[in-house]
Each structure stands twice: as structure tokens, then as C-alpha cells.
Structure 1
Amino acid sequence: MLRKRRIKPEQDAKEHVLSGKDKAFIEKQYINAFKGRGVFALEHMKPSTFVVEYRGVLSQSKYVDDIQGKYLFDFTWNGAHYCIDASKEDGSLGRLVNDDHKNPNCKVKTDVVEGKPHLCLFSLRDICPDEEITYNYGDSSWPWRSVELCDEISVAVDESI
């Protein structure tokens, strides 16, 4: 019996970037009115697994102004500033992955495919079925983080009463 050769995560990412398709083991789900939608695992994933690409319109820019605070991902590659604008609803799932600055289960890596940078999420640890896919959006003071903090303080006060 021949065993199927395991593909390396970076090669898996490259193949999915080129195909423009998302993995079959993730899906979008509505969470609530505050968070909106998110991406969830349908199967178990091991650490270092390629999960999804943050796909959109790539442009090189010196400054990105995200007025709505949604779907723009700015990053530096080869000493230049880039932005991926994923604001257009195109069915891709990477644009729906939510922030978790405390315990994310994925990390973004810049992969170069055909000479262009692509932002790919890879799992940091085991991810279980029905678990939300998350990554840390960075050190900015995102408005929802202060809301989360207020919610946590409110819960702590309620529990102490």
C-alpha cells in the first residue's frame, strides 16, 4: 500500500494562493451582532497547518487610512509598505477571521508566490472542530478591545456580588 506524501504547509499555501480557493475544512458562521461573522474549523488541524489566505486587492502605499476599520491589512515587505484591501465581498474566508489578541490560534506569515507577497494564516497549535479561527491583529488599540475589556470587568463585578 502506498502512502500519500504529506505536503509541506508552505507548498499547501502556495497551491491555494494560485487556485484562489479556500480550504474545505473551514467555513464562515454568524456569531452575534457585535462580532458579526467568523471562520470556524470543520476538522482537527495540527500546528503549522496552512489555514487560509487573507485575499484582496494588493497595493503598495506609503500610508493607509482605514476609515471604517474593516478589511484592510497593511504590512511591510522588502522594505516597502503594502495594503491588502479585502473590503469587497468576494466569498473568500480570510477576510472574516476575527482578532484574538490574548490567545490566537493562528499567525499571519507573508508568503511570496510568483514574486508577490501573500498573507497566509498558519495554525499555532492544535485547532479542534467547531473552534473559531483567530489571529492577533497587532498592537493597535482596536475599538472592540475596549468593549471586550468593559464586558470582562462587568462580568467580574457581577460575579463578585
Structure 2
Amino acid sequence: MHRTYESYAAEIHFRKHLRLADQMIEFHWKLQLRLLRDLVDKVRVSATSNVHVAEGICLPDFVLEVLGLGPKFAVQPQKNKPELVSIVRQVSKRVPEDQATRIINEAAAWVQLIGAMRRCRRDVAESARASIFLHAPTPTTRPGCSRPLQNTGVEDAKNKRTEQTKRKRGKEGPHSESGGRAG
């Protein structure tokens, strides 16, 4: 079917009016919504979660209120790299000049470490473990306990494998490594 110019112009004119009507309805709805929201009283929700405190620890009321609000309010937001660098510069200005370069270098290493922590938790766990426990002696007792620590599960598994290997070699018979043919 062939369309004429008049029918095409009428359709364009009709669509223009529909678009205008849609915009007017949207405008009036936003006005009414704003008025309706002003009529409704704002209800403040009090903290309902209970904070469990260990025995013998006393926290001020304002701390309990903030912790009761949940993790969004209880955890301090992380600083980004420029903020960390500005803190390093502020600290380096307050120390003696001969120690300033050492402090800046150490802090720059920590800023890099923090950046790595945010990128990949697995890599950070390995690097932190290496840097923190590099020179630390292996603990032989638990804090607050005089009994020596037991072997960890990794050591037990290694000991079990070596014992199994020894038993297998013993059961192999005269052609095993320990025994052999006379010859």
C-alpha cells in the first residue's frame, strides 16, 4: 500500500502529541510524588542488632551505638593511594631529616603492599606472611599456655607418607632397594 504525504505528516504530528502528553504526565507525577513524600513522616530506624561484648570489656555507649548500626558504619572506609601518600608526606615532615628518606621508602613499600592487597587477596596473604614472619621464630607454645604445640596437620601428613613409603619398601621383598640379589 502506498502512503500519501498527508497520512505520513498526520502520523508524525500524532507521535509529537503523544510524546508531549507523556512528558506532561511524567512532570505532573514527579510534582505529586514530591508533595506526597513531604506529607509522610520520616521514620528513623533504631539499631536493632545486639553487640556482643566479651567478659571484662566495657565499651562506651556511643561505641555500642555505632557498632549496632552494622558493618557499614562500624568499619572505617579504606583510604586510597593518594591519601596514603599524603599521610606519609605529613609524617616525614615531622621526623628528623636523616630519618625522613628511610620512613618515606618504608611507607612507599607499604602503600604498594596495600595496593596489592586490594588487587588480589591471595598474593597479599603470601607476601604478608613472608614479610611478617621472615625473621620471627617459630612458636613452641601457645600464648598463655605452657604446653608445647602439637604437630600441625601438614607435618602429620608428611610423617604418615614417609612411614607408608618405608612400609611399602619393606614389603617389596628381596628385589627391593634395601635387599638385592647377590651377584
TM-score normalised by L of structure 1: 0.20
Question: Larger helix proportion, structure 1 or 2?
Answer: 2
TM-score normalised by L of structure 2: 0.18
Greater length-normalized contact order (CA 8 Å, ≥ 6 residues apart): 1
| Higher radius of gyration, 1 or 2 | 2
Question: Larger strand proportion, structure 1 or 2?
Answer: 1
